[in-house]
Structure formats: C-alpha cells, structure tokens
Amino acid sequence: MSQVFRYVKITGSECEIKESFIDFVQVDGKTREYITQQIKKKLELDGLDIQKCRGQAYDNGSNMAGIYKGVQARVMEVNESAKFVPCLAHSLNLVGVHSASSSPDAISLFGLVQKLYCFFVGSTTRWEIMKQCTKTNLKGNSQTRWSARHLAVTALINNLPEVVEALEKIAESSLSAESKYECSHLLGAVMNFKFILTLII
C-alpha cells in the first residue's frame, strides 16, 4: 500500500499545498479492518495525529470506499473531519473502461487486440515469429487499467504491417490446422478497413 500525504506548508505569510510520497506499507491482508489498523499503526509510527487529518482518498473498491463499512467509514469513526474523496485517477480510469465497454466498436477493437496478443503469446514458436517480424512486442490489454489498453493499441498500430507479415508466415508454416485456421481468421480481421480505422481513432 502506498502512503501519500497532501498538506499545507506555511512559510511566513505564504501558504502552499504540497503532496509527498512517504512510504510503501507492507500489507498482508485485504479486509477493511486489517487495512484500517495498518493505516492507524503507520500514522502512529510516523508520529502523526489522525485527529489532524482533514481528508482521505482511496480507490473505488468497496473495501476502501464503502460508505458504511469501508476503510473510509472506519477512519471517519475515529475522526469525522477526515472526509473521503474518491481517487480522481481511479475515477478517470473507470470512466474510460466503462465508456469503452458501452461501444460495440470499442468492444470489438479491444477484443481483437487481446485475441492477437493471446494468439502470439499462446505458443513460443508463434511468439518467436512475431518477435522476428516486429520492432516491439505486442501488449495485452487490461480490464482495469486504461493505460494498458493504450499501450496495447499503440504497440499494434506501430507494428501492424509486421504483425500481418508474422501472421502470413504462421499461416504458411507447418503448424497445426487449428493454428492455421485461427491465423487466417485473425489475418482477415486485422486487414479489415473498419478495424484499422477504429484502431487509429
């Protein structure tokens, strides 16, 4: 668990809002009770008074952000002035993930990007052929991290002709009939104008 503080630094008559990374905290459990105890324990070790806390921010998981039993609710039982604000980075990530899952074109695009990655990574022979043809390795996309989808799409855009070349080599090779069938299906899908346009957009 990472520990970051946002605080007000007062120098003479000047006030400045600062944010500092403090530490990584070893966490061996995922329960609300355990994480709350670890936060309180770490604050005590740092010589900080939880009663001076005026805010807290976590991801949007129910064990952290839960309004009745989450970590934020348990911290507010100790200090009701520590108001909870959802982490903006996590919220923005969720907006991207949910937006993409509401568009049939986006679902199709990310599904095909993942199928391509899985096809190559599923066999050391196919992965070697892909590595010989491409400048950089293909990436898989993540269900929870929007940035991973961006990396996956960028890797494919930058290597699309080379990926087609790798697929053609696999289709011509003496691999299994199942691999050849899957390969020809993927070739048709990636050479589709709508896919290429969606990939660029």
Q: How far apart are CA 155 and CA 63, in angstroms?
A: 35
Q: How far apart are CA 136 and CA 150, in angstroms?
A: 15
Q: Say if residue 142's pLDDT is above 90.
A: no
Tell me the per-residue pLDDT of 6-51, one tens digit each, with 9 for 90 and over: 999 999 999 999 999 999 998 888 888 999 999 999 999 999 999 9
Confidence band (pLDDT; 50, 70, 90) for 174? low
Return all residues near 39 (Cβ < 8 A) that are at least 6 apart: 71, 75
Average of per-residue pLDDT across 114-119: 92
Confidence band (pLDDT; 50, 70, 90) for 172? confident
**Do residues 85 and 65 touch, judged by C-beta distance below 8 A?**
no
Instruction: Read off the amino acid at residue 136.
Output: T
CA distances from 123 to 54, 116, 163 (A): 53, 12, 15
Long-range contacts of 179-188 (CB under 8 A, 24+ apart): 179/123, 179/126, 182/119, 183/119, 186/112, 186/115, 186/116, 186/119
Tell me the per-residue pLDDT of 55-113, one tens digit each, with 9 for 90 and over: 998 877 777 888 888 899 999 999 999 998 887 777 777 777 777 778 888 888 889 99
Q: φ and ψ at 134, to 5 degrees?
A: -100, 160
Confidence band (pLDDT; 50, 70, 90) for 144? low
Q: How far apart are CA 70 and CA 35, in angstroms?
A: 10
